[in-house]
């Protein structure tokens, strides 16, 4: 019985499995954190683009051949 207990203590097969489980859990955790950071940044950027576009004025020009385009705050549009 003592020999079986000593063999069990010296056996390292289970330790390798536990190592892989821990490494996999770390990779999944870091992936989730990375996703949240990227998701937050893209949401903020989308809001900034929405704000900039909603404040812009789009001009198609005139029938006399005037310039058209997008005029943002602080520009004359020409």
- Helix-, strand-, coil-residue percentages of the chain, each rounded to 5: 65, 10, 25
Reduce the DSSP state of residue 76 to 3 states and report it.
coil
| DSSP track, 26-47 | HHHHHHHHHHHHHHHHHHHHHH
**Mean pLDDT of the residues in the chain:** 80
pLDDT tens, 39-56?
999 999 999 988 888 887
Beta strand residue intervals within the chain, DSSP E: 57-59, 69-71
9-29 pLDDT per residue, tens: 777 777 778 889 999 999 999
């Amino acid at each position: 019985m003592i020999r079986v207990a000593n063999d069990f203590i010296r056996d390292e097969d289970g330790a390798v499995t536990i190592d892989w489980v821990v490494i996999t859990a770390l990779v999944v955790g870091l992936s989730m954190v990375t996703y949240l950071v990227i998701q937050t940044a893209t949401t903020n950027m989308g809001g900034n683009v929405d704000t900039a576009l909603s404040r812009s004025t789009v001009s198609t020009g005139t029938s006399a051949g005037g310039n058209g385009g997008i005029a943002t705050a602080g520009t004359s549009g020409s």
